[in-house]
Amino acid sequence: MTALAKVVRSFTALLVPHRDNPARSAAWTTAARKADLPHVHSFARGIDQDIDAVTAAITLEHHNGRTEGMNTKTKLIKRQMYGRAGFALLRHRILLG
């Protein structure tokens, strides 16, 4: 349990965008593979498979979090209204929300 906490804490340091994060990320994946935690190994493998996106996420200050949040909210409203009303009411609820 302490090994997992240590690995997770060291990963959280990568979540603040910084120029040196790609090197830190490589060091983190190496350390994560040395730990005897299969789920962490799977997570590290996923990072390696999509390294370009991960590098952009941990080095650039720009992100689309607000856009993704609005997409999620719109899909939630759409699911709630499925089969109940037409497009006009759906549009009205999205604009008011």
32, 43 contact by CB (below 8 A): yes
What residues does each domain of the chain span?
A: 2-59, 65-96
The reported pLDDT for the residue numbered 21 is 86
The reported pLDDT for the residue numbered 36 is 84
Residue 97 has pLDDT above 80, yes or no: no
The chain-wide mean pLDDT, for the chain, equals: 87
- Residue ranges in 35-85 assigned as alpha helix (H): 38-49, 51-59, 65-80
Alpha carbon distance 75, 85 (integer Å): 15
Using one digit for the tens of pLDDT, what is the confidence trace for 13-55?
888 888 888 889 889 898 888 888 888 889 999 988 998 988 8
**pLDDT (average), residues 62-77:** 87
pTM confidence score: 0.60
pLDDT band of 72, cuts 50, 70, 90? very high
Per DSSP, 86 falls in state -
74, 83 contact by CB (below 8 A): no
